[in-house]
Amino acid sequence: MTTADQQEILRRRTFAIISHPDAGKTTLTEKLLLYGGAIHVAGAVKSNKIRRTATSDWMEIEKQRGISVATSVMGFDYSDYHINILDTPGHQDFAEDTFRTLTAVDSAIVVIDSAKGVETQTRRLMEVCRMRKTPVMIFMNKMDREGKDPFDLMDEAEKELGIHCVPITWANDQGLRFESVFALNNRPAELSEKLQADMELIDGVYPAFDKRAYLSGDVAPVFFGSAYKTIGVQELLDFFVQNAPSPRPVAAEERTVYPNEEGFTGFCFKIHANMDPNHRSCIAFFKICSGKFERNTYYKHVRKGQQMRFSSPTCFMAQKKETVDEAYAGDIVGLPDTGNFKIGDTLTSGEDLHFKGLPSFSPEMFKYIDNADPMKQKQLEKGVNQLMDEGVAQLFVSQLNGRKIIGTVGQLQFEVIQYRLEHEYQAKCKWQPLQMYKACWIESDDAKEIDTFKKRKTQYMAFDKEGRDVFMADSAYILSMAQQDYPNIKFHFTSEF
């Protein structure tokens, strides 16, 4: 790889902003884009959040899907750096989408509403970051409102998010008196009595920022500000580009892949169906893990064992989708797809590699899916299979009677599936409620015990989409009984263990 190519990789910063809905993610994203000169007026970034009140408004969902493809990845240059912001859906029913997006980032910025503190969605997303040791920075937003005390906010973040905090900036005050922030390593000569006391406490309690501890995911640098008023945002951005990691090595089943390797590798973390129901084409989003991706070059689709080349790959600059000739490790390329890809697929220059870290999580809600139009059985099957490949929900097939079960994170996904089956596949489905607690992927060194278990529990057994055995526990009690009775079997709530 040439030095120029290596430089391209080193200057990349690919990250996601995560937060509970309404904490200010969209506003902050927009301000970052303004600093990068990628947009010129405030209000240009449409929030891709599906309002919680609109849970059964399908048209709204469709509209939102249109917006969210435009804002899926926002790339821009800022000083010497190339920044890629990956958007994450705000609605909790799409949590799994967000988890997968987090597998494609090298770091994250957590936005917390300083009046509300740490909220549920932030906590859940942070769990994923912790699991993956993703470095995170925290932005305490809305300091222009009367909110919680900054020290209490940091205590709360430490406790609730399980990460040590180190403040980097500090606000002059809060609420109506909030005007500015200053860097703690470059304090103003004159400080009010209150701020002097704050400084003493900070110096006494918090260690100096340790970049290594940040990069290993143990410490989060903390910033205060107001995205809305554009205060404290540039301090965050400058610190971010200087300290956030360039593309990190990625673990594959076979070996660790380093970004500056000669060969190209990448994995698909998201598939976005086209808005136009007449052309059932999708965009498959690939995170480039190593090397350089080039247009019209043959790459190996590892699962299919096929060579493929792409004449119109797209990259995302600000909110425009543009055809690109080349993209580097750290970048996201969108590949037009007509059903060749599914989540987790790998493309390489030729090597057989399988990237890890795209597990399925046990769904929270389950329903039987039945055909409601006998003439359209084939369409229904095709539609269900493609939607599952896109990662909209998970499909299980009962080992007892072959019935299909769809598992989701929330009710909204059932509505999306039904709507899309009708509009894109001309198929009709019916749902039948199913009382279910968790889907558990089972594993044991003891083949005999697994065998006995499967025989005894046939009515609870299903196959997932890859044909793996899954135990469908209909209550916490049934699960704990199974765990007691079969001590040599491990029950996992994710498909990767």
Q: Least CB distance from residue 221 to ligand G4P, whole Å?
A: 19
Amino acid at 57: D
Residue 496 C-beta-side C-alpha neighbours within 13 Å? 12
- x/- binding map, residues 188-227, to ligand G4P, per CB under 6 A? --------------------------------------xx
- Of residues 232 and 247, the one with the C-beta less far from ligand G4P: 232
- x/- binding map, residues 430-459, to ligand G4P, per CB under 6 A? ------------------------------
Q: Least CB distance from residue 244 to ligand G4P, whole Å?
A: 20
- Of residues 64 and 398, the one with the C-beta less far from ligand G4P: 64
Q: Least CB distance from residue 209 to ligand G4P, whole Å?
A: 24
Q: How many residues bind ligand G4P (CB under 6 A)?
A: 19
Q: Least CB distance from residue 182 to ligand G4P, whole Å?
A: 18
Q: Least CB distance from residue 227 to ligand G4P, whole Å?
A: 4
Examine residue 25 and tell whether it contacts ligand G4P (CB under 6 A): yes
Strands (E), 425-477: 429-433, 438-443, 461-463, 469-473
- Of residues 90 and 266, the one with the C-beta less far from ligand G4P: 90
Q: Least CB distance from residue 229 to ligand G4P, whole Å?
A: 6
Report the C-alpha gap between 326 and 250 in whole angstroms: 21
Among 9, 18, 23, 406, binds ligand G4P (CB under 6 A): 23
Examine residue 51 and tell whether it contacts ligand G4P (CB under 6 A): no
Among 51, 145, 354, 403, binds ligand G4P (CB under 6 A): 145
326: which strand partners? 294
| Exposure string over 156-174, b if 16+ CB within 10 A, otherwise e | bbeebbebbbbbbbbbbeb
Two structure tokens written together for 406: 């769809």
With a CB cutoff of 8 Å and minimum separation 6, the contacts of 256 are 249, 250
Among 8, 33, 47, 331, binds ligand G4P (CB under 6 A): 47
- Of residues 225 and 291, the one with the C-beta less far from ligand G4P: 225
With a CB cutoff of 8 Å and minimum separation 6, the contacts of 97 are 88, 89, 270, 391
With a CB cutoff of 8 Å and minimum separation 6, the contacts of 49 are 21, 26, 64, 89, 90, 91
Q: Kindly state the helix (H) or strand (E) to which residue 109 belongs, with its residue range.
A: strand 107-113
Two structure tokens written together for 378: 């084939």
Among 228, 286, 396, 486, binds ligand G4P (CB under 6 A): 228
Which of the residues 59 through 118 are near ligand G4P (CB under 6 A)? 90
Would you mind telling me the total number of residues written for the chain in this entry? 497
Q: Least CB distance from residue 185 to ligand G4P, whole Å?
A: 24
Among 144, 345, 415, 464, binds ligand G4P (CB under 6 A): 144
**Cα-Cα-Cα-Cα dihedral sign, residues 113, 117, 120, 122:** positive
Strands 250-251, 326-328: pairing kind: unpaired
Q: Is residue 173 helix, strand or coil?
A: coil
Instruction: Write a three-state SS string for 87-108.
Output: CCCCCHHHHHHHHHHHCCCCEE
Pair 11, 81: CB distance under 8 Å:
yes
Q: Least CB distance from residue 470 to ligand G4P, whole Å?
A: 34
Residues that bind ligand G4P in the complex, under the rule CB under 6 A: 19, 21-27, 47, 49, 90, 141-142, 144-145, 226-229
